[in-house]
Amino acid sequence: MEALPILNNKLYVNMTGHLSQHTRNILGLQLPTDPRWVNLAAISLEAILTDHAYCEQKAALTCISYIQRYSDRKELVEELAPIVTEEWGHFRQVLTELNKRGLTLGKQRKDEYVNQLLLFQKKGGHIEDRLLDQLLTMALIEARSCERFKRLSEGLEDKYLRNFYRKFMESEAGHYTLFITLAEKYIPKEKVRARWKEWLAHEIDIMKHLELRGDRVH
């Protein structure tokens, strides 16, 4: 795959004096994706579809790891089990789309966005604090993925791909809700909401400093 152009996201942040209420209502995210990202993504569908495929694969594997780690939490196991199937099904859908277009699944790339989120997780302390941060990390990834898929569903010229990503957008929104609900199942709601606000604030800082790349979902 050819290298794609990269934009410095700080420029867009400085240009954005305020956010619309509609944007603020999208899954609680405080900073919208720079609309130029869709144009960059459209330059090489092979790159964005490859990254999307790996995102779905990693989501399935992460849910499996949580089921193994928290096997004593019945509701978590029962709720995440079908998500594993769904995320793996999404991986296969994206793979099929690559094949249909005569494109190939490239190599997995480093996901700087997710890695920055993982650094914010609480590693020690009470197990509930670790569980909370793990579930909120997944919720935030799903929320940002949903917002990115919304951009693709509205901004791509390819009508088929617009519909393709509309379906993924709706699915990610449901997953975001599930992870928040699971967190509130095991941790007091007030604590979940307070920590969620901290995560949203941290995500703003991550988004401000990440380069805007057209070969990444995040």
Q: Structure pTM?
A: 0.86
Phi, psi of 135 (to 5 degrees): -70, -40
User: Per-residue pLDDT tens for 147-193?
Assistant: 999 999 999 999 999 999 999 998 888 888 899 999 999 999 999 99
User: What's the pLDDT at 22?
Assistant: 43
Q: What's the distance, CA 104 to chain centroid?
A: 22
Q: How confident is the model at residue 51 (pLDDT cuts 50, 70, 90)?
A: very high
- Please name which of 203, 95, 85 lies closest in space to residue 143, comparing C-alpha atoms: 203
**Higher pLDDT pick, 15 / 54:** 54
Please give the pLDDT value at position 27.
62
According to CATH, what is the number of the domain 36-210? 1.20.1260.10
Q: Could you tell me which residue, 2 or 128, shows the higher pLDDT?
A: 128
pLDDT of the residue at 6: 35
Confidence of residue 9 (pLDDT cuts 50, 70, 90): very low
Show me where the domains of the chain are located: 36-210
**What are the DSSP calls for 63-122, one per residue?**
HHHHHHHTTT-HHHHHHHHHHHHHHHHHHHHHHHHHHHTT---------HHHHHHHHHS-
Q: Tell me the C-alpha distance between 93 and 58, whole Å.
A: 15
Q: What are 69-122's pLDDT values in tens digits?
A: 999 999 999 999 999 999 999 999 999 999 999 999 999 988 999 999 999 998
